[in-house]
């Protein structure tokens, strides 16, 4: 809502009341132009126990006026019912989209709906794909609001995404596709993934691949001061990937690190794919269990854990000592590392999801009860205002050449007590 500063130009009470009324009308009008997405609770996207209907979205700019949206979704959460006078089960669902100029606009620029029914996967769920085109013109940016509705349940989930047509070099001008012709919906790849990169520029003869092998530290506590150090864009290696008719040759990367694909190396923008450890986003190795414990331990405790010759024994000993018995230790381990894995799935940016600001809070506090998103801002709320336990965290999207999923927490010293209370809960 627009903040209006009142300037007392008149001393007369009547004029003051008139001005106040005008201010209220203007503020109300401003609020009404805000897109409904701003007030939609998006917390379902981060709930670990619910199957997300749409599990992947890729946007690819085919031309200056047309973008294609690729969706990956699962049938496992659909409600299959028996239609009248039929002897089979059927799901009915719908994809709809609306296009806006921004989060702040309520004017629909384009919209469409697609209805589907299915009886094939009632007993054996499947992962399916669907794509549609959107008229979006360069050099603008847009808000795409995709909605998935289970018509049998009468339940909908909203998926807002930004369309960036303001650059011919950003990630939405590329499409990663594996050797079986399947689009890669995640921003990370495994060493097993053989793929090529497709560009909307068919004239290019090569794609520049910059390789970065840095590792980045985990997030600092929410009450700590300061900001992450500025990143120095210095690739360790640059290679040229031959391309023809808009498609590169197939590649497969064994080395861990950041792979940045560009059609113009004088720019910073491009498609980035991350190669983390072999089982990412799962946590399977003992050393991978030690690192996320940084959020629960003091500096001295963590250094002692990290230096233990047997990481698995170090992890087991810590949790048994914390829990008091092996049974509760097993429960804590399951809860803690499942959050680590979900953080990797939801919040991967230029570093592993558990290392990010949102990943850190997700691990310690769990999934937020309310999530609001506006342009470049995401807000998390735990509890309800007025309750004894109420927390609000605001994240600002950082400008990052590798990802649009890098959000920085607005830290505050007032979070200190609540943070240590949460750590105490884990360790009591």
User: pLDDT tens, 359-408?
Assistant: 999 999 999 999 999 989 999 999 887 677 789 999 999 999 999 999 99
The pLDDT-based confidence of 38 (bands split at 50, 70, 90) is confident
Torsion angle in degrees (nearest 10) through CA of 102, 107, 109, 115: 100
Q: Same domain for 160 and 180? A: no
Q: Which pLDDT value is given to residue 375?
A: 86
CA dihedral 342, 170, 230, 347 (to 10 degrees): -10
When pLDDT is averaged across residues 135-153 and rounded to a whole number, the result is 97
Nearest-10 crossing angle of helices 299-307, 311-323: 140
Beta bridge partners of 421: none
Are residues 251 and 135 part of one domain?
no
Residues 120 and 222 in one domain: no
One domain, residues 217 and 247: yes
Query: Who has greater pLDDT, 285 or 6?
Result: 285
pLDDT at 137 over 90: yes
Residues 328 and 413 in one domain: yes
- Of 320, 337, 318, 214, give the one whose Cα is nearest residue 276: 214
Q: Is the pLDDT of residue 15 over 70?
A: no
Any idea which of 27-31, 91-95, 170-174 has the lowest mean pLDDT? 27-31
> Do the domain assignments include residue 56?
yes
Q: What percent of the chain stands above pLDDT 70?
A: 91
Does residue 69 register a pLDDT over 50?
Answer: yes
Asked whether residue 396 is domain-assigned, the answer is yes
- Give the rounded percent of residues in the chain with a pLDDT score beyond 90: 78
Rounded to an integer, what distance in angstroms lies between the CA atom of residue 33 and that of residue 35?
A: 6
Sheet of 237-244, strands arranged across: 174-178, 195-199, 247-248, 237-244, 206-212, 257-262, 271-275
State yes or no: pLDDT of 25 exceeds 50: no
Rounded Cα gap, residues 99 and 160, in angstroms? 10
Clarify whether residues 389 and 311 are in a common domain.
yes
The answer to whether position 65 is within a domain reads: yes
Looking at residues 107-125, what average pLDDT do you find? 97
pLDDT given for residue 50 in this prediction = 65
Q: How far apart are alpha carbons 117 and 224 in whole angstroms?
A: 51
Q: Which of 68, 85, 81, 141 is nearest to 109 (CA)?
A: 141
Q: What is the pLDDT of residues 260-301, one digit of tens each?
A: 999 998 989 999 999 999 999 999 998 899 999 999 999 999
> What is the structure's pLDDT at 17?
45
Q: If you average pLDDT over residues 105-112, what whole number do you get?
A: 96
The answer as to whether 13 is a domain residue is yes
Q: Measured between alpha carbons, how far is residue 156 from residues 16, 150, 244 in Å?
A: 46, 6, 42
Neighbours of 51 (CB within 10 A): 13
- Is residue 26 over pLDDT 60? no
Per DSSP (E only), the strands in 137-246 are 141-150, 155-164, 174-178, 195-199, 206-212, 237-244
Q: What is the pLDDT of residues 308-366, one digit of tens each?
A: 999 899 999 999 998 889 999 999 999 999 999 999 999 999 999 999 999 999 999 99
Query: What pLDDT, in 10s, does the model give residues 178-200?
Result: 999 999 999 999 999 999 999 99
Residue 170 lies in a domain: no
Q: Work out the average pLDDT over 223-246.
A: 88
Q: Which residue has the higher pLDDT, 255 or 35?
A: 255
- As a whole number, mean pLDDT of residues 85-109 equals 96
SS3 268: coil
**Of 226, 128, 227, 257, nearest to 183 (Cα)?**
128
Residues whose CB is less than 8 angstroms from the CB of residue 51 and which lie 6 or more positions away in sequence, other chains included: 74, 76, 77
Whether the full predicted model's pTM is greater than 0.85, yes or no, is yes
Mean pLDDT of the chain: 89
Both 331 and 372 in one domain: the answer is yes
Residues in a beta bridge with 113: 96
d(CA 417, CA 420): 5
Residue from 34, 26, 37, 19 nearest 3 by CA = 26
Question: In this model, does residue 212 exceed pLDDT 80?
Answer: yes
299 plus 413 within the same structural domain: yes
End of a domain among 275, 309, 340?
275
Which sign, positive or negative, has the C-alpha torsion 255, 259, 261, 264? negative
Contact 67, 138 (CB under 8 A): no
Residues 301 and 250 in one domain: no
Inside any domain, residue 213: yes
Please report the sign of the dihedral spanned by the C-alpha atoms of residue 131, residue 134, residue 140, residue 145. Answer: negative
CATH of the domain at 48: 2.60.40.10
- Using the 3D structure, point to which of 253, 275, 297 is the last residue of a domain: 275
Q: Is the pLDDT confidence value at 19 over 50? A: no
Burial 353-376 (b: 16+ CB within 10 A, else e): bbbbbbbbbbbbbbbbeebbbbee
The predicted structure's pLDDT at residue 34: 60
Q: Specify the number of domains making up the chain.
A: 4
Residue 332 lies in a domain: yes
Judge if 54 and 18 occupy the same domain: no
- Domain boundary (220, 247, 275) is at 275
Domain that holds residue 72: 43-164
Would 37 be classed as within a structural domain?
no
pLDDT for position 386 = 65
Rounded mean pLDDT, 211-232: 87
* Band (27; pLDDT cuts 50, 70, 90): very low
- Asked if residue 366 and residue 309 are part of one domain, the reply reads yes
**410 with 394: CB under 8 angstroms?**
yes
Whether the predicted pLDDT of 158 surpasses 90: yes
> What are the CA-CA distances from residue 301 to residues 297, 298, 305, 314, 324 (Å)?
6, 5, 6, 11, 18
DSSP state of 14: H
Closest C-alpha to 405, from 415, 393, 391, 395: 395
Same-domain pairing of 2 and 58: no
**How far is the C-alpha of 27 from the C-alpha of 25, rounded, in Å?**
6
Collapsed DSSP state (helix, strand, coil) of residue 128: strand
Q: Are 1 and 30 in contact (CB under 8 A)?
A: yes
Give pairs for 119-126: CB < 8 Å, separation 24+.
Answer: 119/80, 119/88, 119/89, 119/90, 119/91, 121/75, 121/91, 122/80, 122/88, 122/89, 122/90, 122/91, 123/89, 125/74, 125/75, 125/76, 126/74, 126/75
């Amino acid at each position: 809502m627009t903040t209006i500063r009142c300037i007392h130009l008149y001393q007369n009470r009547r004029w003051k009341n008139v001005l106040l009324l005008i201010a209220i009308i203007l503020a109300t009008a401003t609020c009404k132009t805000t897109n409904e997405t701003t007030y939609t609770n998006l917390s379902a996207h981060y709930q670990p126990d619910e199957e997300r209907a749409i599990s992947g979205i890729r946007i690819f700019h085919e031309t200056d006026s047309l973008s294609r949206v690729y969706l990956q979704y699962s049938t496992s959460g659909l409600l299959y019912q028996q239609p009248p006078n039929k002897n089979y089960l059927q799901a009915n669902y719908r994809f709809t989209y609306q296009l806006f100029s921004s989060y702040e606009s309520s004017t629909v620029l384009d919209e469409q709906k697609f209805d589907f029914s299915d009886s094939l996967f009632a007993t054996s769920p499947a992962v399916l794909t669907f794509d549609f085109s959107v008229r979006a013109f360069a050099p603008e940016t847009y808000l795409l609001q995709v909605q998935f509705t289970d018509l049998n349940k009468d339940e909908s989930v909203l998926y807002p995404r930004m369309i960036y047509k303001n650059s011919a070099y950003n990630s939405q001008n590329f499409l990663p596709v594996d050797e079986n012709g399947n689009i890669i919906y995640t921003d990370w790849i495994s060493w097993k993934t053989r793929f090529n990169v497709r560009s909307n520029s068919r004239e290019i003869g090569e794609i520049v691949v910059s390789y970065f092998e840095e590792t980045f530290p985990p997030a600092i506590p929410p009450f700590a001061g300061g900001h992450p150090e500025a990143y120095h864009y210095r690739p360790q290696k640059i290679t040229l990937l031959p391309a023809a008719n808009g498609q590169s040759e197939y590649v497969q990367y064994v080395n861990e690190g950041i792979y940045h694909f560009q059609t113009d190396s004088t720019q910073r923008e491009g498609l980035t794919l991350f190669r983390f450890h072999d089982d990412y986003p799962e946590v399977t190795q003992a050393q991978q269990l030690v690192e996320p414990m940084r959020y629960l331990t003091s500096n001295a405790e963590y250094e002692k854990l990290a230096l233990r010759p047997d990481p698995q024994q170090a992890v087991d000993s810590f949790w048994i000592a914390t829990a008091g018995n092996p049974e509760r230790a097993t429960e804590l381990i399951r809860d803690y590392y499942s959050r680590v894995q979900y953080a990797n799935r939801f919040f991967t940016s230029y570093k592993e999801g558990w290392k990010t600001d949102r990943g850190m809070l997700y691990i310690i506090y769990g999934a937020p009860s309310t999530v609001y998103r506006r342009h470049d801002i995401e807000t998390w709320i735990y509890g309800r205002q007025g309750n004894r336990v109420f927390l609000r965290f605001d994240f600002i999207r950082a400008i990052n050449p590798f990802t649009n999923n890098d959000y920085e927490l607005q830290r505050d010293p007032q979070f200190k007590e609540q943070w240590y209370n949460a750590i105490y809960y884990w360790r009591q």
